[in-house]
Amino acid sequence: MPVRTKANIRHFIWKLRLRSVNPLLLPSYFRVCYSHVEFKYRTFLVSLFSLTMANAPPPPPPAAIPTRHIKLTTVKGKHVDCIEAPFFGNCRDVEDFQKLNRVGEGTYGVVYRVKDSRTKQIVALKKIRMERETDGMPVSSLREISILKRMKHQNIVNVTDVAVGPRLESIFLVMEYCEQDLGSLLDMVTTPYTASEIKCLMLQLLRGLEYCHSHSIIHRDLKMSNLLLTSTGLLKIADFGLARTLSLPGKPMTPNVVTLWYRAPEVLFGDTNYTTAVDLWSAGCIMGELMQHKPLLPGNTEQAQLDLIVKLLGAPNETIWPGFNKLPSAKVLVMPKQSYSNIKEVFPRWSEQTLSLFAGLLTYNPKSRLNVKQALVHPYFQETPRAQDPSLLPTYPEVRNQLAERER
């Protein structure tokens, strides 16, 4: 095995540079950024240094390009000798962006509205949370970067770059800026959406979901605050921190995902073999929220959430949901006694096709629930009134200004 010298490290790093590899976008088992290098598995590290490049001298760094340094400090949390080498990557410097105001904060990071000094455009900068991380970059952030960098659709927020600061914890996603989210609009605007406006928003949401699901991506955290709206009425699905690629059949998924108000019953009852159907349930909750201009199922505990679901849809059973009794929490949560649906009573003024799509999305059995392709061709979208043109959607600039002022 060749000796692991600083020259070996430099040569390998220069190979990455010459191939224009963005270090933050390497596979999750091999993580590199401007301020550090971390190899997730020791076996990969050993094989890496076994490459036949021991005697190759490192190429001289081009004088015209400013250098940064990286450090290899830990392998799976164990200290190793610190090695420094000049490194050049494709990440932006966070100093290139002028911070204007903070626009939001989620589980996985704080979002700022900033001005790009190069393009003079207003963009969003999402700082990745690193406070509780002791072993490199959070898996959720790696997933989000990996997923968003390869997804290009008008109804999915566009990540344009990765920016870094001088410290390990200073890692940011550079995203297109959207003026507001549907959750804030619902809180601050008293005028409910019209039928054609709701149809426009649902059509855009489902188109974005169709793109995700066609690429085997489950979002797993759809909610009003993760749906952004531009000044031209385009809806953008955002915050892919919980998203993941659809697993192979039989491989368990993470339980207790999705914000409680939008959580599908199969997840609520502890099923770890859920599918893209969980996103369609969330879409149904969002549709109901738009229709009644308030949260549809705002439970504060899992039991309270189940009570609200049953009050709206009736209680699930083996007849309508085969395999229900075998779910892990089927015997843990107390099932309210109600055998009938109250959808028509809760939404008396909505058309039959509207309630048909709504009920199809909020179906207990995930195998019987509408998938995204079925939802998009539902007669609901063909009946009058037709979906409003996005450019004609109300954008409420006064609300946008209030939100910006509040976050300054």
What letter does residue 26 receive in the DSSP assignment?
A: S
Q: Is 126 annotated as a binding residue?
A: yes
Nearest alpha-carbon partner for 291 in 269, 271, 312: 312
Q: Are 273 and 252 in contact (CB under 8 A)?
A: yes
CA distance 374 to 357: 10
The Cα–Cα gap between 334 and 263 comes to 17
User: Rounded to whole angstroms, how far apart are CA atoms 176 and 191?
Assistant: 28
Closest CA to 102 of 120, 127, 119: 127
E strands in 211-250: 217-218, 227-229, 235-237, 244-245
Closest CA to 144 of 108, 110, 94: 108
SS3 34: coil
Task: Give CA–CA dist 274/278, Å, rounded.
Answer: 7
State the sign of the Cα–Cα–Cα–Cα dihedral 38, 42, 47, 50.
Answer: positive
Looking at residue 3, its amino acid is V
Contact 112, 103 (CB under 8 A): yes
- Round to whole Å and give the CA distance between 266 and 375: 20
**Dihedral over alpha carbons 271, 277, 282, 284 (to 10 degrees):** -130
CB count, 10 Å around CB of 290?
A: 22
Q: How far does Cα 234 stand from its chain's mean position?
A: 17
**Length of the chain, in residues:** 408
Query: For residues 275 and 326, is the Cβ–Cβ distance under 8 A?
Result: no
DSSP state of 378: S
Q: Which amino acids are annotated catalytic?
A: 221
- Judged by DSSP in three states, 227 sits in strand
% helix, strand, coil for the chain, step of 5: 35, 20, 45
Q: Which residues are annotated as a binding site for ATP?
A: 126
Q: Which residues are annotated as a binding site?
A: 126
